[in-house]
Structure 1
Amino acid sequence: MTGGKFPPEQLRRQAAARVAEIARTMGSELPRLGGAMQDEIAETIPELRGDSVILELLRASTQSNVETFLHVLQHNIAIGELLPPSAAVEYARRLAQRGISASALLRAYRIGQNQMLNWGVAEVARTEADQDVALAAAQIFQTMTFAYVDRVAEQLVAEYESERERWLANRNTLRAGLLNSVLAGRDHDLGAVESALGYGLRQHHLGLVVWTAEQAGTPSELRRLEAVVAAIGESVRAAGPALFLPQDSSSAWGWIPLGRNAAKPGIDIDDLRRSIQSTDRGVRVALGRPAAAVPGFRATHQEAQRAHAVAIVAVDTPVTTFDEPGVQICSILARDLDSTRSLVADALGGLAGDDENLAQLRATLLAFLAARSSYVTAAEAMHLHKNTVKYRVDKAIAARGRSLDEDRLNLELALTACRWLGPAVLPRAGRRTRP
């Protein structure tokens, strides 16, 4: 601008005066401008449609934001000291309470920023004949709209997150009391319970426990868990949103609705594992079996808890399902690890060492016993040559120091315990094993 007909300071003052005058003119048309902005936001963001309360709060928020911004332009108010209008704060809180995403909040401000900038630049072009002043005024509009939205939106997102945490905590406290009463088997009005929980009990359910291995305990942990539960729901083609109930800042219970079909729904465990691992590898999951109605709601949850009891011992298992062979018995063995450790030591002898080679021999021997002592069937299950299976079985028997027929039941229990509970049930250093 130094090459123009106005000195830079004079040009700045003239541009600022033009912007202030335009802001006063726009302020006289506040209802029309605010209404037009609200209409565009409501039309562009599908999440806001159909909720009369939210739309009314959007109207108040939009009007108050436009009015506040025009006052900033008229009176040169410092953006850094600005607080969001109270209507805008209440709008952000209500979005949080209704579970409408924060992205919808931010998108509304981007739409408003773009519309306000378009209005301002158009008014500058219409009312200012001098091109240098017009360009400087347009630049002021651009800078100020960005600064206003950046300042206000940052504060409102923080308010949204705080309100979301408060709302979920209060709601979950009420739901937890009711849910525990249902799980305890007390009689309730099903319609009232379903309304309070936001979940239908008269259908099939898949119960689960989710948690993070890191135990970080940050607020974002629950959002991670909720995202994984939603991904599981998509994987099993859920009949609606899951019931999600945090237990603390890094673990939660969940129920996925599977509909009212008479046939018991089938679950593709491999597909489920892929879905979970692709969503968040840091989250671990324990699953019950699908079951129907209120008794099934309780049963699948209890099974998920028992699978969880196995999983928290077997630290390297990201997904544990109660339906998998061995999990049910290991949920019992996990209750008394000292006794289980003694069982493993006595039944496996020298096969009970904690190293990779012995772990491989144990896994092969367990597959062989599950295949009813068929080398061919075990080889197919493990994707190995039958001679490899025979070699490993022979080595496992030698390491154990006894034939397979001796104490066979305890042998299978011990191998199963090692499969699911891992090093936690292997003899500690110095423990004597049976020769």
Structure 2
Amino acid sequence: MTAHHDSGPSGWVHRLAPAPADAPGAPASSEPTLTEATARLGEGPVAWAVLVGTELARVITREVPELGGGPAPFETLRMGTEAAVLRSLLLLADPAADRTVPEESLLGDREFARRRVGLDKVLRGIRVAHAALAGALMAACRERAAPADRAEEFLRISELLFGFMDEFSSRMTTEYLTEHDRWLASGAAAREETVRAILDGQPVREDTARELLAYRLEGRHLALVAWCESPAAGDLQRAAADLLHLRGCSSALILPTGRTTLWAWGDPQAPHPAEAPPGATYPEGFGFAFGSVRHGLTGFRQSHEDAQHAARVMRLNPGGTGPVVDYPDVELPALLSADLPALRRFTGDELGALAADSPHAEQLRRTLRLYLRNERSLMAAAAQLHVARNTVTYRVKRAQELLGHDLTARLPEVMAALEAARVLGPAVLLKADEAHEA
């Protein structure tokens, strides 16, 4: 391991650093990878790689959405792109450096195989990353390298990235196919194929499926979609099983769909699942989206669809719904948000300035919503808000002024918009420059 330096034509690599206004965020790479890179490149280039790695992950998920899928899969992808940027910088600083594809990138590749993302999508993601990384390195070289060295450095960047990405694609293909074959040879493959057949509405023999899945398909079902921010699949599976048990399920089917995501089903004994005990806590960074309780093979599929909708609502407003959400509690916003841009326009049209994303507007929306849900009872709303009756009177009057139209004439629409704003928050609310509070 050698100390970093900034002399010579490639010295610009050691002078890399994020712009003062750009916060790189927390690194996604492993501690050994970061320690080695910092020792050989310096803190500035490593911080630059973290920032560029995050941007590469965003570009990839925008161009190839199948490689995303939520916060946890994005973090896995970011870990791989960040490691690739670091390895590229190490090679630019020292052509004799190790050219091996980083293990962090292979972890994401294996997850793509387990999630059944097509190899063509994976290779397209690599091409997108190649183009974006080349652009970032060329721009950085243009800014930091001496004018006399730029032409040679541009050529070196191009040749190095072409060779590295060619080897990268080859190794990722091999690893993908190996993981895919390993998955096919496991019992998990048969279980997942059976579950996906049911979800796709394909005909299946219930007795054969029941034996393979070790789970009854003819009774009630409560579906769960769960995820975590870091690779802790074992903990996630235990947490999902424990939570289904707390909801009144005597048995459960747990199906991991990636390193940080899973699908699950339980068999609740009652038509409405039990609530978790008061004060129940959940691991940090975990999310649990439940469907509705439904019956039979069709209900197995429908409850899962409900859970997917609930998960989408949670991801639209991270932190605004809590770690556990039941589909019946967010059903209306889930249905309305199938077309999010249209819902945002609807919310703005119905609520006017009351749709502003501000604490004051939120207070007025909550007061108006409780007032309407309590059949316009000032006393009932005041009791739920723990404020005086006159306070509710003032807030309701102010909220109706901000609506900009007659509340009575469009009561169902206004209540739907208030519910969407409550659950989805900033995803459907207006920014300060879009809404003005008088």
State TM-score, norm by structure 1: 0.54
Question: What code does the residue aligned with 1:303 have?
Answer: D
| Closer/same/farther in 2, CA of residues 173 and 399 from structure 1, 3 Å limit | same
CA contact (8 A) 2:184 2:190 kept: no
- Compute the displacement of 1:347 (Å): 1.1
1:227 maps to 238
Question: What code does the residue aligned with 1:266 have?
Answer: H
Question: What code does the residue aligned with 1:208 have?
Answer: L
- Compute the displacement of 1:375 (Å): 1.6
2:215 maps to 199
1:245 maps to 255
1:35 maps to none
2:192 maps to 176
CA contact (8 A) 1:418 1:425 kept: yes
2:163 maps to none
Give the secondary structure class of the aligned counterpart of 2:267.
Answer: strand
CA contact (8 A) 1:349 1:434 kept: no
In 2, distance between residues paired with 1:177 and 1:274? Answer: 38
For residue 349 of structure 1, the aligned residue among 352, 358, 363 is 352
| Closer/same/farther in 2, CA of residues 227 and 380 from structure 1, 3 Å limit | farther
| Closer/same/farther in 2, CA of residues 347 and 273 from structure 1, 3 Å limit | farther
- Compute the displacement of 1:180 (Å): 1.1
Residue 402 (1) aligns with residue 405 (2): yes
In 1, distance between residues paired with 2:437 and 2:339? Answer: 20
In 1, distance between residues paired with 2:278 and 2:257? Answer: 23
- Compute the displacement of 1:383 (Å): 4.3
For residue 305 of structure 2, the aligned residue among 289, 302, 305 is 302
| Closer/same/farther in 2, CA of residues 303 and 272 from structure 1, 3 Å limit | farther
Give the secondary structure class of the aligned counterpart of 1:312.
Answer: helix
In 1, distance between residues paired with 2:426 and 2:256? Answer: 30
Question: What code does the residue aligned with 2:376 have?
Answer: S
Q: In the TM superposition, what whole-angstrom CA distance separates every residue of 1:167-202 from its partner, at most 9, and x where no partner exists?
A: 899333321111111122222221110111121112
In 1, distance between residues paired with 2:375 and 2:408? Answer: 12
| Closer/same/farther in 2, CA of residues 378 and 402 from structure 1, 3 Å limit | same
- Compute the displacement of 1:272 (Å): 5.8
In 1, distance between residues paired with 2:254 and 2:189? Answer: 12
CA contact (8 A) 1:352 1:427 kept: yes
1:70 maps to none
Residue 314 (1) aligns with residue 317 (2): yes
Structure with the greater alpha carbon radius of gyration: 1
In the TM superposition, 1:6-405 aligns within 5 A as 170-212=186-228, 214=229, 216=230, 218=231, 220=232, 222-240=233-251, 242-259=252-269, 264-269=270-275, 271=276, 274-275=279-280, 278-316=281-319, 317=321, 318-324=323-329, 327-405=330-408
Give the secondary structure class of the aligned counterpart of 1:265.
Answer: coil
In 2, distance between residues paired with 1:169 and 1:253? Answer: 21
| Closer/same/farther in 2, CA of residues 229 and 398 from structure 1, 3 Å limit | same
Q: In the TM superposition, what whole-angstrom CA distance separates every residue of 1:364-418 from its partner, at most 9, and x where no partner exists?
A: 2111111121222323444444333223212212232334224323211211111
CA contact (8 A) 1:346 1:433 kept: no
Question: What code does the residue aligned with 2:273 have?
Answer: I
In the comparison of the two structures, how many residue pairs are matched? 256
Question: What code does the residue aligned with 2:236 have?
Answer: L
| Closer/same/farther in 2, CA of residues 412 and 248 from structure 1, 3 Å limit | same
Question: What code does the residue aligned with 1:358 have?
Answer: A
In 2, distance between residues paired with 1:285 and 1:313? Answer: 14
Give the secondary structure class of the aligned counterpart of 1:323.
Answer: helix
In 2, distance between residues paired with 1:413 and 1:265? Answer: 26
CA contact (8 A) 1:236 1:272 kept: no
| Closer/same/farther in 2, CA of residues 384 and 287 from structure 1, 3 Å limit | farther
Question: What code does the residue aligned with 1:342 have?
Answer: R
Question: What code does the residue aligned with 1:336 have?
Answer: D
Residue 417 (1) aligns with residue 420 (2): yes
State TM-score, norm by structure 2: 0.54
In 2, distance between residues paired with 1:169 and 1:305? Answer: 28
- Compute the displacement of 1:362 (Å): 0.7
1:101 maps to none
- Compute the displacement of 1:274 (Å): 4.3
Question: What code does the residue aligned with 1:236 have?
Answer: R
In 1, distance between residues paired with 2:274 and 2:213? Answer: 27
In 2, distance between residues paired with 1:300 and 1:196? Answer: 20
Give the secondary structure class of the aligned counterpart of 1:191.
Answer: helix
Tell me the percent identity: 31
- Compute the displacement of 1:255 (Å): 0.5
CA contact (8 A) 1:345 1:433 kept: no
| Closer/same/farther in 2, CA of residues 360 and 305 from structure 1, 3 Å limit | same
Question: What code does the residue aligned with 1:237 have?
Answer: G
In 2, distance between residues paired with 1:311 and 1:272? Answer: 21
Unaligned runs of 5+ in 2: 1-181
Question: What code does the residue aligned with 1:246 have?
Answer: P
2:101 maps to none
| Closer/same/farther in 2, CA of residues 175 and 274 from structure 1, 3 Å limit | farther
| Closer/same/farther in 2, CA of residues 389 and 357 from structure 1, 3 Å limit | same
